[in-house]
Amino acid sequence: SAGAPTTLAIGGVSYEQRVPFIGIGNAVIPGERGQWMITIPQPAPLMVAATVEHMRRANIRSVGYIGFSDAWGDLVYDALTQAAGPANIRVLTNERYARSDTSVTAQVLKIVTARPDAILTGGSGTPGALPHLALMERGWRGPSYSTHAIINRDFIRVGGASVEGLIAPTGPVVVAEQLPESNPIRAVAMQFREVYQRVHNEPTTDAFSAYAYDAWLIFADAARRAAATTPPGTPAFRTALRDAIVSTRELVGTHAVYTFTPTERYGVDDRARVLVRLERGQWRLVQ
């Protein structure tokens, strides 16, 4: 795990070293160990804020929420409440369900009864489609939003007609071909897609493989800089590699232009998000 001590014996002398860690899941380790970690996926507040801004422009004044009964559900709900207040949008519900649940009928009935102008779901993967299926069964036809955690092929397959028209934030790689030529992320994202197609003989349809690609870009860049001053394979190289990772500056990836500091674990800004709408099973850039 990030920053976990590793004991090395060199020349009869024991050294305790920590290992740099690049996370491709949305998590941050607190404390001193967290100083050895960076996280690639965009933080929930950054992404949900883009969704709330779209709601505000659409004159939405109330929103119902349903999400996982776990840390991810909490992160999305907290980000929603933080952004909704300044936008004068009321959050009417905070319904939850477990990832393994097969029904959310009771929760959806409460949401529909509250009569929100729009609904935001805080799920991920295929379980993230469950609320949308239930909402459609209950006649919901209002605007529906979700998060970047549902950008994958199986979510679309399971959700079917219930997720048509859904709006969600995601990294630019998902709609790379729709980005303007002036966007520096477009070229890197299109190159990634080309490599993925060549290796797997099928197109990439999710946001998650690109997180791993960006992690590799950051590692390769940091390793090159660290190796220029510190011999690889030495105890000191681990620290040098960590220092290089957290001093990454304006590195263009598929999801973001990354800049890290010793105290900034995410290293992304507004360039790491776009809004997309699901139209006939395809994600389309919301202009």
The 10s digit of each residue's pLDDT in 126-185 is 999 999 999 999 999 999 999 999 999 999 999 999 999 999 999 999 999 999 999 999
Which regions of the chain does DSSP assign to beta strands (E)?
Answer: 5-10, 13-18, 21-23, 37-39, 62-68, 90-91, 95-97, 118-122, 144-145, 167-170, 251-252, 257-258, 274-279, 282-285
Answer yes or no: is pLDDT of 55 > 60. yes
Predicted confidence (pLDDT) at residue 9 exceeds the cutoff of 80? no
Name the residue with higher pLDDT: 9 or 72: 72
Q: Evaluate if residue 67 carries a pLDDT over 50.
A: yes
Distance from C-alpha of 141 to C-alpha of 272, rounded to nearest angstrom: 30
| Model pTM score | 0.88
Predicted confidence at residue 53, as pLDDT, reads 97
Q: How does residue 13 score in pLDDT terms, banded at 50, 70 and 90?
A: very low
pLDDT digits (tens, 9 = 90+) for 105-128: 999 999 999 999 999 999 999 999
Q: Answer for the pair 145, 168: CB distance below 8 angstroms, yes or no.
A: yes
pLDDT band at 25 (very low <50, low <70, confident <90, very high): confident
Q: Residues 188-210, buried b or exposed e (16+ Cβ, 10 A)? A: bbeebbeebeeeeeeebebbbbb
DSSP 215-238: HHHHHHHHHHHHHTTS-TTSHHHH
Residue found under tokens 């030529």: 181
Task: Quote the pLDDT of residue 3.
Answer: 52
- The band of 4, judged by pLDDT with boundaries at 50, 70 and 90, is very low
Contacts of 276 (CB under 8 A, 6+ apart): 151, 167, 168, 169, 170, 174, 175, 283, 284, 285, 286
Q: Is the dihedral of CA 280, 68, 37, 269 positive or negative?
A: positive
Quick one: what percent of the chain has pLDDT higher than 90? 82
Predicted confidence at residue 187, as pLDDT, reads: 97
Q: For 168, list phi and psi in degrees, rounded to 5.
A: -150, 155
In order of 50, 54, 90, the CA distances from 57 in angstroms are 11, 5, 15
Cβ neighbours for 234, distance < 8 A, ≥ 6 positions apart: none
Residue whose structure tokens are 């001590």: 5
Structure tokens at 286: 């919301």
